[in-house]
Every structure is written in C-alpha cells, then in structure tokens.
C-alpha cells in the first residue's frame, strides 16, 4: 500500500489497498450465516401456517394474512430504526442485538397457547429480522474493498436463499415428527449460536469508527484486517465540520442524493414485496386443492427453489465484479418476465413440472428481487450515512412486503391460485425495470455510474468546494 507521507489515505483508500484477505472471508462467512438465519426463520414460519390453520382454525385470508402483513410492518420499523442506530452506535452492536432479539423470540413463539400469543411473539421476532438485513449488509459493505463490494453483498445475500433451503428442510423434518413448536425452537437455537459467534469474531466497521473520531479503534480494525500493514501515514478522519453537522437523513435527501433515494425506496418497495410474497405463500399455494401437493412435496419444491436462489446469487456475485450493476439487474428482471409467464400459463402442472419450473424460477426471481436493492443502495451512499441509506431503503422494502402480504393473502383468499399469482408479478416487474432505468440515468447524471459506487472520501474532503467537485464527479474505481 502506498503510505507515503503525502498520500491522502482515508479508511476507504486503505481498505481498497489491502484487498481481500482471509479475515475478510471469515467475516463474510459469519455475516452470511446471520443472513441465512434471517431467511431460514421467515421460511420456517411460512411452513407453520398450514399447521396453525388446523390447530386453531385460522384462515389464510384472515389471521395468517394479519401475521404476514403485521410482521412485515414490524420488519419495516426494525429496518428504519436499525439503519439509523447503526450510523450512531455501530453496525456490529446493532446487528448482534437484532440477531439475539429474533433468536430468542422465535424460540419463545413455541410456547404460544393460542394464536394471539403466537402473533405477539412473531411481531417481536420481526422487529429483529427487519434490523438484521440493513445492518448486516452495511457492515459487510464497510469491511469490503470498493471493487468487490457489490459482489460480496450479492454473495452474502445468497445466504438468505440458503436459509430458505435450511428452513424448508427443517420444516419437512421436524413438523411431521415434532410439530411446528419443535421447528421454532430449533430455529431459535441456531440463530442464538450465530449471534454469539458474530459478537466474538467480527469487528466493528472502521469507517464507523473514523466517522465518530475514534482514530485508534479504526486503525486497530485496519491492522486486524491486514496484520503488518504500515498505517503510520494513514489519515483516519471523519467528514469536515460542515458535513459532519448534517443529519444523515438530511444528506440522503439532499440535492445530491434525493432522486437516488426516492428511486431506491420505490425499487425496494416492489423488489422485496414481490420476493417475500412468493416466499410466504408458496407452501400454501402448492398445498391448495389445485395443484394439491402434500407437505413433503411442497417442502421439496420450496427447498429446491431456495437452493437454486443460492446458485443464482453466487452467479450474480461473480458477474457483478466485471459488469455494470444496472446491466446485470436489468437482464435478471427481463428473465423474470419470462419465468412469470411460463409458470402462469403452464396447463395443469403436476409435481414434476412444478419442481422443474420453480427450480428455474429460483435461479432467477430471488436473484432479481433479493440482493438488488442492497447492491444499489450500498453503492449509492458514502459510509458515514450508509446505514441510514440502506436502512431507509429496507424500510420501504419491508413496507412493500407488508402490502404484498396483504394483497397476496386477499387474492388467495378470493380464490387466486398459483398460476394467477405469478401472472400478477408482471406488474411489479414492470415497475422495477422502469425504476432501474431512472437510477441508471440519475447515476450517469451525477457521474456515479461505476462498479465501485460512491467512496467514503466523497463526503470527507478538506475543502467544501473540493468535496462538491468530488460529488459531481462521482465515485472513482481504485
């Protein structure tokens, strides 16, 4: 690394110069496992709905829709609060707390004596689940070099898909033998172990320390990432005074970022809303009189769908290292149109046909809807406000999930089946394609259309006029 006395070496510059070390991969694995627990928990709960309907007489269009919709609202609140807290008190501390919250409350949900108690525990768990995604993604983005950031975020998000596989597998194994209560206890214990590993192994973001003036702590993390690196000439400083006085929300809604922020909110609303609508209701749709699959058959399809999403996410990760994020995401959304039409127009498909079609769908749909909002958001904001930017995007994403849960439950309750639901996906996919085009135009206008995205130093230059010039020029690839 160039550490000459005259060099301007901020946290992002040092992180980029270090490149990827084995410690990066260790932290990546642990954060990805926490995201896996997130996806696992959401999938597990969706598999409890048929059992709850039988045990307590809860209807899909009534109580279950209330749990799905209310849960997504709780996730939205958790995402917004956690994103701001991550910028104020640290990404790691908020992530560990959120993981502990949903681990404990998921396990306690197994003690529910009635549907009201189950709903209460579920809402508390969803607060933690909503907080995990923005803080986990933000911590991963802060620790990663800029050029590899989008790839690692996409690969990390693949953990959510792997969690779908694990959750579906646990459901197929535990519900027939121990019931839905055993499933919730198992999920809570797994998440609790991951929270403890995260607390003891993964460091806090050096960019967070630098933004809060904790110079020594920031350098300690940098030294931990690459032992033996000469940090004597590194300038670890937060933003200049006039920028530091701005609240994070004022920054992301400023003239520079306002259009990007609003478009990201819209993209998040429709992307996660569409993704989780499928994840929450797919087991129920598969077990309807048409196509009439068994619990084991539906669990097999959902598990295969989730495994395919992992493969798709990893493929996305590799491509993003070389190709513009806008081109990759646009292509994935175009393929989603083809998949939705194929499933929606398939004539009376049986188990074998659905297994094939939904495996293909798993390769494409979660890849297009899942990590894309976070890939776009982490590249759009500098580290000082990244938690708030990603968190506010996640708030809108979870709000979209709440609306999607309500709409999905209403449509299914009115008799819409699997084919009809997939045909309705054409509308949100069209909105996502239009929003992506707007984001690309805005990035090109501001000069931030690069693989790496906005660098942390773009809001931490010494002179206001120099900083403004950097914002106009956008990010530069190191």
Q: Which domains does the chain have, with CATH numbers?
A: 11-216+243-463 (1.20.1250.20)
pLDDT digits (tens, 9 = 90+) for 369-398: 988 998 999 888 887 888 888 889 988 988
Q: How confident is the model at residue 474 (pLDDT cuts 50, 70, 90)?
A: very low
User: Within a 10 A sphere around the Cβ of 424, how many other Cβ atoms?
Assistant: 16
pLDDT exceeds cutoff 80 at 352:
yes
Element (H, E) at 377: helix 372-380
Q: Which pLDDT score, from 0 to 100, does residue 457 have?
A: 47
| Length of the chain as a residue count | 478
Q: Distance between terminal CA atoms of the chain?
A: 12
Q: How far apart are CA 379 and CA 450, in angstroms?
A: 9
Place of tokens 């279950």: 64
Q: How confident is the model at residue 102 (pLDDT cuts 50, 70, 90)?
A: very high
Q: Is the peptide bond before 291 cis (omega within 30 degrees of 0)?
A: yes
Q: How confident is the model at residue 10 (pLDDT cuts 50, 70, 90)?
A: low
**Helix/strand/coil for 236:** coil
Q: Which of 4-8, 96-100, 143-147 is predicted with the least confidence, judged by mean pLDDT?
A: 4-8
Comparing 242 with 235, the larger pLDDT belongs to: 235
| Percentage of residues in the chain having pLDDT higher than 90 | 31
| Spatial CA neighbour of 328 closest among 391, 341, 389, 336 | 336
Q: How confident is the model at residue 44 (pLDDT cuts 50, 70, 90)?
A: confident
CA angle centred on 308, ends 305 and 311, rounded to 5°: 160
Q: Which pLDDT score, from 0 to 100, does residue 17 have?
A: 73
Instruction: Convert 338-377 to b/e letters by CB count within 10 Å (16 or more is b).
Output: ebbeebbeeeebebeebbebbbbbbbbbbbbbbbbbbbbb
**Helix/strand/coil for 231:** coil
Handedness of CA 256, 383, 88, 101 (dihedral sign): positive
Q: Which of the given ranges, 101-105, 232-236, 308-312, has the highest pLDDT on average?
A: 101-105
Q: Which pLDDT score, from 0 to 100, does residue 237 have?
A: 53
Q: How far apart are CA 153 and CA 378, in angstroms?
A: 9
Q: How far apart are CA 179 and CA 399, in angstroms?
A: 31
Q: How confident is the model at residue 6 (pLDDT cuts 50, 70, 90)?
A: very low
Global pTM value: 0.76
Q: How far apart are CA 156 and CA 30, in angstroms?
A: 10
The torsion angles phi and psi of 20, rounded to 5 degrees, stand at -90, 125
Q: How confident is the model at residue 246 (pLDDT cuts 50, 70, 90)?
A: low
Q: How far apart are CA 309 and CA 465, in angstroms?
A: 45
**Helix/strand/coil for 461:** coil
Write out the DSSP string of 405-453. HHHHHHHHHTT--HHHHHHHTHHHHHHHHHHHHHHHHHHHHHT--SSS-
Place of tokens 């969690």: 163
Q: How confident is the model at residue 347 (pLDDT cuts 50, 70, 90)?
A: confident
| Spatial CA neighbour of 187 closest among 77, 104, 67 | 104
| Spatial CA neighbour of 136 closest among 49, 5, 29 | 29
pLDDT exceeds cutoff 80 at 279:
no
Question: What value does the mean pLDDT take over residues 9-19?
Answer: 69
Q: How far apart are CA 164 and CA 198, in angstroms?
A: 21
Question: What value does the mean pLDDT take over residues 255-266?
Answer: 92
Element (H, E) at 160: helix 146-201
Q: Which pLDDT score, from 0 to 100, does residue 270 have?
A: 94
Mean pLDDT of the chain: 82
Q: Which pLDDT score, from 0 to 100, does residue 276 have?
A: 77
Q: How far apart are CA 114 and CA 369, in angstroms?
A: 34
Q: Which of 7-21, 94-108, 130-144 is predicted with the least confidence, judged by mean pLDDT?
A: 7-21
Q: Which pLDDT score, from 0 to 100, does residue 242 have?
A: 42
pLDDT exceeds cutoff 50 at 195:
yes
pLDDT exceeds cutoff 70 at 162:
yes
Question: What value does the mean pLDDT take over residues 436-453?
Answer: 75
pLDDT exceeds cutoff 80 at 364:
yes
Q: Which pLDDT score, from 0 to 100, does residue 235 have?
A: 61
Non-local CB neighbours of 347 within 8 Å, separated by 6+ positions: none
User: Within a 10 A sphere around the Cβ of 228, how many other Cβ atoms?
Assistant: 5
Question: What value does the mean pLDDT take over residues 156-168?
Answer: 81
């Amino acid at each position: 690394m160039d550490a000459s006395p005259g060099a301007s070496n901020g946290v992002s510059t040092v992180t980029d110069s270090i490149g990827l070390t084995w410690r990066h991969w260790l932290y990546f694995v642990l954060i990805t496992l926490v995201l896996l627990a997130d996806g696992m928990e959401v999938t597990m709960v969706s598999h409890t709905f048929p059992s709850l309907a039988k045990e307590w007489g809860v209807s899909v269009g009534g109580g279950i829709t209330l749990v799905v919709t209310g849960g997504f609202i709780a996730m939205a609140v958790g995402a917004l609060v956690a994103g701001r807290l991550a910028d104020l008190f640290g990404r790691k501390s908020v992530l560990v707390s959120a993981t502990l919250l949903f681990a404990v409350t998921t396990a306690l949900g197994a003690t529910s004596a009635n549907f009201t108690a189950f709903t209460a525990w579920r809402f508390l768990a969803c607060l933690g689940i909503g907080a995990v995604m923005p803080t986990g993604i933000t911590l991963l983005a802060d620790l990663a070099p800029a050029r590899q950031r989008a790839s690692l975020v996409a690969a990390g998000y693949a953990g959510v898909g792997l969690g779908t596989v694990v959750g579906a597998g646990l459901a197929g194994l535990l519900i027939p033998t121990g019931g839905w209560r055993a499933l919730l206890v198992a999920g809570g214990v797994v998440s609790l172990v991951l929270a403890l590993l995260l607390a003891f192994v993964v460091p806090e973001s050096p960019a967070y320390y630098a933004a809060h003036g904790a110079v020594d702590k920031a350098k300690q993390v940098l030294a931990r990432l690459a032992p033996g690196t000469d940090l004597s000439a590194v300038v670890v400083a937060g933003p200049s005074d006039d920028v530091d006085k701005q609240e994070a929300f004022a920054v992301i809604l400023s003239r520079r970022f306002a259009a990007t922020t609003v478009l990201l909110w819209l993209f998040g609303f429709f992307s996660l809303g569409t993704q989780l609508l499928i994840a929450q209701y797919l087991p129920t749709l598969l077990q309807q009189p048409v196509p009439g699959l068994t619990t084991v058959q539906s669990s097999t399809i959902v598990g295969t769908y989730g495994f395919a999403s992992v493969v798709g996410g990893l493929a996305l990760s590799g491509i993003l290292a070389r190709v513009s994020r806008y081109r990759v995401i646009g292509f994935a959304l175009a393929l989603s149109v083809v998949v939705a039409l194929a499933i929606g127009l398939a004539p009376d498909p049986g188990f074998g046909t659905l297994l094939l079609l939904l495996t293909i769908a798993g390769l494409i749909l979660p890849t297009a809807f899942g990590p894309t909002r976070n890939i776009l958001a982490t590249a759009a904001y500098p580290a000082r406000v990244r938690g708030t930017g990603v968190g506010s995007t996640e708030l809108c994403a979870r709000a979209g999930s709440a609306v999607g849960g309500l709409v999905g439950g209403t449509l299914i309750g009115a008799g819409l089946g699997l084919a009809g639901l997939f045909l309705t996906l054409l509308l949100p996919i069209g909105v996502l394609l239009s929003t992506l085009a707007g984001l690309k135009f805005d990035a090109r206008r501001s000069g931030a259309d690069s693989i790496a995205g906005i660098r942390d130093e773009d809001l931490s230059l010494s002179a206001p006029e120099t900083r403004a010039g950097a914002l106009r020029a956008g990010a530069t690839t190191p």
